[in-house]
Structure 1
Amino acid sequence: KRQNSHLSPSCTLLFIPHLKSCLHLLCFLHPCVGDLMGMALQNLDHLVQMPHGCGEQNMVLFAPIVYVLQYLEKTRQLTPEIKERATGFLRNGYQMQLLYRHRDGSYSVFGQQDGEGNTWLTAFVVKSFSQARKYIYVDDKNVQDALRWLEQNQLPSGCFATKGSLFHSSLKGGVDDEISLGAYVAAALLELGQPLKVSMLLLPPALRYAPMPGYQAVLAYAFALAGDYETTQELLYILEEQAIKSGGQIHWSPKPSSPASTDFWPDTQSVDIELTAYVLLAYLSKPRVHAGDMTTAAGIVAWLTRQQNAYGGFASTQDTVVALQALAKYAARTFSTSGQALVRVKSQRGFGKAFQVNRQKRLLVQQAALTEVPGQLLVQVHGSSCVFAQTVLRYHEPPPRAAVTFTLRVSTELTNCSQANARVLTVRILTSYIGSRVTSNMVIVEVSLLSGFILAPGSRMLRRTIVKKIEVKASVVYIYLEKLNDESQTFILQLEQVIPMKNLKPATIKVYDYYQPGGLQIPSYSGVGSCVPSSLAGKRCVLIAVCVRMCVTEFLISFCRGASLR
């Protein structure tokens, strides 16, 4: 709030009723910062708490840093210390991204193994590399080759050929995808000042074929960048009629939705965040931005900031990139160096904490643990400055029945149990997609290793074309799958015990859609059980099977009768 004011909102922190029978951990923090981009700045290296071992995911650690640097430079808050830290991340990200470059100058999610470049990713990379050249060295050849590749793949219609797999399918609807792809590439190149007159002249006839808000939002942003005020306004009027408004918040969804949730932590689809961020970019990029546009923008920002995670990012990759770009643009437009504020948080039982926000502490993230839960807290704000306060709740719960989008069954088999040999645990994973679409987006199978175990060298995991990459980081094995459908797929890992452990605790296996992680499955597995003699190890004898379906766990025990996991 930027005016002399006294605000006293209150919030009630309660235990989640449906978690009474579950083991859970509640941890409340209350970050307070004087700048909308403060949380993202502090957590540049882990905005998204997900694996990032492919070409698109690497860019989620690259592009937002560019937006933060641009914002800090524009508002004269960029210090040598911040610049050194941020550019270090940029250099690492730049070198990493070159691993996903093709010889023709294009980029794809998994590089050369994909066979051809990806139109979406190449446009994303060339935009980010061009903008980063102001802060780090970027070989001009890497930019020009990518631009040339995009030009070669421009169609007579002015749109662009769809090469490679789309990042995710959430924005796909009943229209030709050339519309959104053309708008996305056009917007990316217009940000760089590239001439696209032919493309933009041919896009307007497609407007009537773009009934989905997702298409309209990207198109509105593209036309705003092109300086076409009339077409931008036409699209924004259409989007205004589809807006979901509640409690001063405004957002959009590609499917009918109820009003904005009043819960502290609503379950929001990442596509809603991405779509809403594009609308915000369209409003802020118009040739003429009016006071009414900024009022609408403030309502959009109010909704977007409620979707941020504890690190300043969002649910997935593309929503984080687009949302932070939009928030940085809004923060730059509303920036002011004047004013200060005092934020007090207190409870009826004696808890109290004060946060001083001024020009010197503008980018400092201040936080305190909230120890009185359940309970009611009063938040008081005095002063005349912008303050962003956030309450974070962390807990674990089984997903509701309707939200589960994958089946997952796990079996383990222990072999080589003699003292002379290392114990080997074979883990078989069966999974399939049961969501509302024909196929999923990219899927991650995340296997936490048991204490004392490592992934055996040359592990004979069943490889198929859908397995794009296997990565081991910090005792977790990440298996990247191109996609899944309703046909069960089997994956086999062999784990080798290198350190004997007593009272070995189970570890978890997760399977989730990378772009819509809400419908994940999380069973556990262990290495406890009778050992299979080496002579029987090849007979697929199942000792312990963990069956998980719709949050019901069933332990199946069979003996060496050649039983297979179904």
Structure 2
Amino acid sequence: LTAFVMKSFGKAKRYIYIDEAYVDEAKAWLDHKQQDNGCFASVGQLIHTNLEGGVDYEVTLSAYVTAAMLELNYTTTDPVVSRSLACLKNAYPQVKSAYAKALLFYTFTLAGDELMRTTLITSLDSNSKVSGGGRHWSRANDGSAPDSLEVEMTSYVLLALMSGPKLPGFDLSYSASIVSWLSQQQNAFGGFKSKQDTVVALQALAKYSVATYSPQGAVTVTVTSPSGLKNTFNVAQSNRLLYQETRLQKVSGDYSISAEGKGCVYVQFNLQYFVPPAVPHAHSPYFILAVASGNCSVQNPALEVVVAVVYNGKHSETNMVVIDVKPLSGFVVNETSVHHVNSNTNSTDGAVKRVDQIDGRAVIYLNGLTHGSLMVYTMTIVQDVTVQKQKPAVVKVYNYYEP
């Protein structure tokens, strides 16, 4: 986190006033966390529990810190940077995860080490997955849907390719296949799976846009509905940054897209629909039980909601966990009870870091959960409006960094 803030402040200086002392003090603090072997010691809470333990975590942490320093124009002659790069190079033969290799690829690109760049991209390429014209990297032996970690590691590969000299066999067409996959992961609001992967993905896509930018060209995109109705979008230099959208008149059916002209445009279809509340998956890492009780026969009844959560995943502990409590229709969360939930900080296990009230819901941010520990949270909901034929409310629990 300190490395991220240091990098963000350093880059923001071009646009707003930032006291240089903040950046210098952060750099000095990081310098003191460097170990004798050149890598950096872990301090505080682990963000990616999937990288917990072993060589890979120390490597990813050190690579991230080193990359942050290099992005702020600290050179390889800086003693701290030099020692860290040496540690990373020595540790590379033991690195297994694609995430660690992707981050190393970016770090050594910033350091200008072409030999390590070639070694890393060769290894990464052999483990890449190609489908539907897109290329990406995933966790080993994981057949699940793409998650934030996979978006992030794929973005680091693209960022590395765009941040250094071209490597033989890895030209813009190779990068374009990565962009194709990343674009398919982008949601309707421009973000990705989480805040962390969105930051890296947008940085990588921006680098690619700079590399492929052309001052000329215009494209006309036509979207044709099943009934033959056409919607036309004109993209030229005068409006190339203008976001254009239209509502489809008929949702179901096969639509076709055609483009004429010269240039590159990004077209996205977004479909929104409602689904019944999901039944908890048998393999979910969380077990949750929510019970509401109280006297509903009185006017404006108040109900006590008790939420019990147990983490049964594959790690010894989690990072930040979010509990999203949606009250019954017509009910809102009592503010006093929210403050009571917020005071549950007597232990780091399951401690409440923050509680937000959003549209009548209570969103509880937990410091983390220990495997097998039962944590119980209580709040009060009060009826604000009488609603007939109420339906069951939903309580969701998920990992903040990998929703």
Report the TM-score when normalising by structure 2. 0.89
Structure 2 partner of 1:150: 30
Q: Which has the higher contact order (CA 8 A, sep 6+)?
A: 1
**C-alpha distance in structure 1 between counterparts of 2:99 and 2:204, whole Å:** 16
For residue 336 of structure 2, the aligned residue among 457, 467, 470 is 457
**C-alpha distance in structure 2 between counterparts of 1:176 and 1:247, whole Å:** 31
Structure 1 partner of 2:366: 481
For residue 344 of structure 1, the aligned residue among 222, 228, 235 is 222
Structure 2 partner of 1:520: none
**C-alpha distance in structure 2 between counterparts of 1:279 and 1:299, whole Å:** 12
Task: Indicate conservation of the 8 Å contact 1:180/1:215, yes or no.
Answer: yes
Structure 2 partner of 1:134: 14
Structure 2 partner of 1:423: 301
**C-alpha distance in structure 1 between counterparts of 2:69 and 2:115, whole Å:** 21
Structure 2 partner of 1:413: 293
**C-alpha distance in structure 2 between counterparts of 1:141 and 1:416, whole Å:** 58
Residues 453 and 401 (structure 1), Cα distance of their counterparts in 2 relative to 1, 3 Å cut: closer
One-letter code aligned to 1:128 = S
Residues 335 and 191 (structure 1), Cα distance of their counterparts in 2 relative to 1, 3 Å cut: same
- Report the Cα offset of residue 366 of structure 1: 1.3
Secondary structure, counterpart of 1:203 in structure 2? helix
For residue 440 of structure 1, the aligned residue among 307, 318, 331 is 318
For residue 379 of structure 2, the aligned residue among 493, 500, 525 is 493
One-letter code aligned to 1:409 = L
- Report the Cα offset of residue 142 of structure 1: 1.9
Alignment of 1:311 with 2:196, yes or no, is no
Alignment of 1:225 with 2:110, yes or no, is yes
- Of residues 122-131 and 291-300 in structure 1, the stretch that sits farther from structure 2 once superposed is 291-300
Structure 1 partner of 2:244: 366
Task: Indicate conservation of the 8 Å contact 2:56/2:100, yes or no.
Answer: no
- Of residues 405-414 and 328-337 in structure 1, the stretch that sits farther from structure 2 once superposed is 405-414
- Report the Cα offset of residue 248 of structure 1: 2.1
Alignment of 1:212 with 2:97, yes or no, is yes
Task: Indicate conservation of the 8 Å contact 2:135/2:178, yes or no.
Answer: yes
Q: Report % sequence identity.
A: 37
One-letter code aligned to 2:344 = R
- Report the Cα offset of residue 257 of structure 1: 5.0
- Report the Cα offset of residue 151 of structure 1: 1.1
- Report the Cα offset of residue 387 of structure 1: 0.7
- Report the Cα offset of residue 141 of structure 1: 2.2
Structure 2 partner of 1:390: 268
- Report the Cα offset of residue 458 of structure 1: 4.7
Question: CA deviation digits over 1:470-497, x for unaligned, max 9?
Answer: 2223322111112233333211012234
Report the TM-score when normalising by structure 1. 0.64
Question: CA deviation digits over 1:253-280, x for unaligned, max 9?
Answer: 121356xxxxxxx931111101111111
Secondary structure, counterpart of 1:167 in structure 2? coil
- Of residues 502-511 and 164-173 in structure 1, the stretch that sits farther from structure 2 once superposed is 502-511
Structure 1: gaps of 5 or more residues? 1-120, 259-265, 518-566
**C-alpha distance in structure 1 between counterparts of 2:285 and 2:117, whole Å:** 37
Secondary structure, counterpart of 2:170 in structure 1? helix
Structure 2: gaps of 5 or more residues? none
Q: Deviation above 6 Å: which 4+ runs of structure 1?
A: none
- Report the Cα offset of residue 402 of structure 1: 5.2
Structure 2 partner of 1:328: 206
Question: CA deviation digits over 1:147-200, x for unaligned, max 9?
Answer: 111111111211111000122212346425221111010001100011312221
Residues 431 and 452 (structure 1), Cα distance of their counterparts in 2 relative to 1, 3 Å cut: closer
One-letter code aligned to 1:154 = Q
1:67-146 equivalences in 2 (<5 Å):
121-146=1-26
Question: CA deviation digits over 1:101-133, x for unaligned, max 9?
Answer: xxxxxxxxxxxxxxxxxxxx0000100111011
Structure 2 partner of 1:253: 138
Secondary structure, counterpart of 1:177 in structure 2? helix
Residues 400 and 492 (structure 1), Cα distance of their counterparts in 2 relative to 1, 3 Å cut: closer
- Of residues 409-418 and 249-258 in structure 1, the stretch that sits farther from structure 2 once superposed is 409-418
- Of residues 147-156 and 482-491 in structure 1, the stretch that sits farther from structure 2 once superposed is 482-491
- Report the Cα offset of residue 291 of structure 1: 7.1
Structure 2 partner of 1:541: none
Task: Indicate conservation of the 8 Å contact 1:168/1:442, yes or no.
Answer: no
Task: Indicate conservation of the 8 Å contact 1:456/1:496, yes or no.
Answer: no
**C-alpha distance in structure 2 between counterparts of 1:416 and 1:164, whole Å:** 45
Residues 174 and 158 (structure 1), Cα distance of their counterparts in 2 relative to 1, 3 Å cut: closer
Alignment of 1:276 with 2:151, yes or no, is no
Secondary structure, counterpart of 2:394 in structure 1? strand
**C-alpha distance in structure 2 between counterparts of 1:291 and 1:236, whole Å:** 10
Task: Indicate conservation of the 8 Å contact 1:129/1:138, yes or no.
Answer: yes
Task: Indicate conservation of the 8 Å contact 2:224/2:257, yes or no.
Answer: yes
Residues 139 and 417 (structure 1), Cα distance of their counterparts in 2 relative to 1, 3 Å cut: farther
Alignment of 1:515 with 2:401, yes or no, is yes
In angstroms, what is the RMSD of aligned CA positions?
A: 2.3
Q: How many residues align?
A: 387
**C-alpha distance in structure 2 between counterparts of 1:293 and 1:174, whole Å:** 34
Question: CA deviation digits over 1:82-118, x for unaligned, max 9?
Answer: xxxxxxxxxxxxxxxxxxxxxxxxxxxxxxxxxxxxx
Structure 2 partner of 1:375: 253
Residues 502 and 375 (structure 1), Cα distance of their counterparts in 2 relative to 1, 3 Å cut: closer
One-letter code aligned to 2:397 = V
**C-alpha distance in structure 1 between counterparts of 2:337 and 2:266, whole Å:** 50
Secondary structure, counterpart of 2:122 in structure 1? helix
**C-alpha distance in structure 2 between counterparts of 1:351 and 1:435, whole Å:** 50
- Report the Cα offset of residue 289 of structure 1: 5.0
- Report the Cα offset of residue 386 of structure 1: 0.7
**C-alpha distance in structure 1 between counterparts of 2:179 and 2:282, whole Å:** 30
